[in-house]
């Protein structure tokens, strides 16, 4: 519960969501999508954490 509460959208990313992202990138119909770093992390990548001891 504590880990889920830390997520920006209030839950962990599911395996289905990760798989869907992989399928999107692997799909030949998306051949023009190249050199992409796709963060499937529910917003954790851009979350700014407070430094230790700051509050």
User: What tokens appear for 20 in the block?
Assistant: 């869907």
Query: What pLDDT is stored for residue 55 in this prediction?
Result: 58
Determine the pLDDT at residue 54. Answer: 66
The number of folded domains in the chain is 1
Instruction: Evaluate whether residue 43 is within a structural domain.
Output: no
Range of the domain at 20: 1-31
Q: Kindly report, residue by residue over 2-55, the tens digit of the pLDDT.
A: 877 778 888 888 999 999 999 999 999 998 988 888 889 888 777 766 667 765
pLDDT of residue 48: 66
Residue 45 is predicted with a pLDDT of 76
Between the alpha carbon of residue 18 and those of residues 29, 35, 38, 51, 54, the distances in Å are 19, 18, 10, 29, 34
What's the pLDDT at 19? Answer: 96
Residue 49 located in a structural domain: no
Quick check: is 46 in a domain?
no
For residue 1, pLDDT over 90 is answered with: no
């Amino acid at each position: 519960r504590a880990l889920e509460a830390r997520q920006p959208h209030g839950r962990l990313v599911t395996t289905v969501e990760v798989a869907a992202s992989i399928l999107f990138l692997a799909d030949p119909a998306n051949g023009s999508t190249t050199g992409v770093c796709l963060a499937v992390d529910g917003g954790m990548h851009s979350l700014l954490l407070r430094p230790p001891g700051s509050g």
